[in-house]
Amino acid sequence: MSVKEIVKASFLKAQQDGLQLTPDVYKTIFCEQAKKRGYNISDCNLVDKYLNKMSEEQKKELKNLNVKNLDELFMYLISRLNRATNSKDENLTQAFIVLIKKLLEVISILHNKSAKDLVIESENRLKNSYDLNTLDVIKKRWSDFVSNYNDSFLNPLIKKPTQNKNDLKSLIDDLLNEIDDSYIHSIVEILSLSIEPSIAKENLDDFRIYIEKIENEPFLLKNRKNIDELKNLVSKRIDLDKNEIQKNIKEIDKLIELISSNLKTSIASSDKSSKNISQIKQELHLIDKENEFESIKQKLLSIAQNLENETIGLKDKLVSQNSEMESLETKINELQNKLDSVQKESRIDFLTGALNRRAFDEELHKLEKSYLRYKKNYSIVFFDIDKFKNINDTYGHDAGDLIISSFGKLLIKYSREMDIVARFGGEEFIVVLPNTEIIGAVEYANKIRVILESSKFLYKSLKVSVTVSAGVSERTLCNSSQEALTKADEELYLAKNSGRNRVYPQK
User: So where are the chain's domains?
Assistant: 41-164, 181-251, 257-345, 357-504
Q: What fold characterizes domain 357-504?
A: Alpha-Beta Plaits (3.30.70)
> Rounded to the nearest 5°, which phi and psi values hold at 208?
-65, -40
Q: Are 381 and 470 in contact (CB under 8 A)?
A: yes
* Confidence (pLDDT) at 386: 96
Helix boundaries (H) for 286-356: 293-345
* Confidence (pLDDT) at 494: 97
Q: What is the Cα gyration radius of the chain? A: 44
Return the bridge partners of 470, or none: 383, 503
Among residues 121, 64, 74, the alpha carbon closest in space to that of 100 is found at 74
Q: How far is CA 465 from CA 232, 245, 423, 454, in A?
A: 38, 45, 21, 8
Residues 6+ apart with CB under 8 A from 72: 65
Reported as a single tens digit per residue, the pLDDT across 371-386 is: 999 999 999 999 999 9
Exposed (0-12), middle (13-18) or buried (19+): which is 472, by Cβ within 10 Å?
A: buried
Q: Are 118 and 141 in contact (CB under 8 A)?
A: yes
Helix boundaries (H) for 37-167: 46-51, 56-64, 70-82, 87-108, 113-128, 132-148
Q: Are 200 and 241 in contact (CB under 8 A)?
A: yes
Reported as a single tens digit per residue, the pLDDT across 133-171 is: 777 777 777 777 777 767 666 666 566 655 555 555 665
* Confidence (pLDDT) at 51: 79
The pTM score is 0.39
pLDDT lower than 50: segments of the chain: 179, 255, 259-260, 262-264, 266-267, 289-293
Q: Are 445 and 466 in contact (CB under 8 A)?
A: no
Exposed (0-12), middle (13-18) or buried (19+): which is 275, by Cβ within 10 Å?
A: exposed
Among residues 403, 399, 364, the alpha carbon closest in space to that of 381 is found at 364
* Confidence (pLDDT) at 140: 79
Determine the 3-state secondary structure of 335 from DSSP.
helix
* Confidence (pLDDT) at 376: 94
* Confidence (pLDDT) at 238: 77
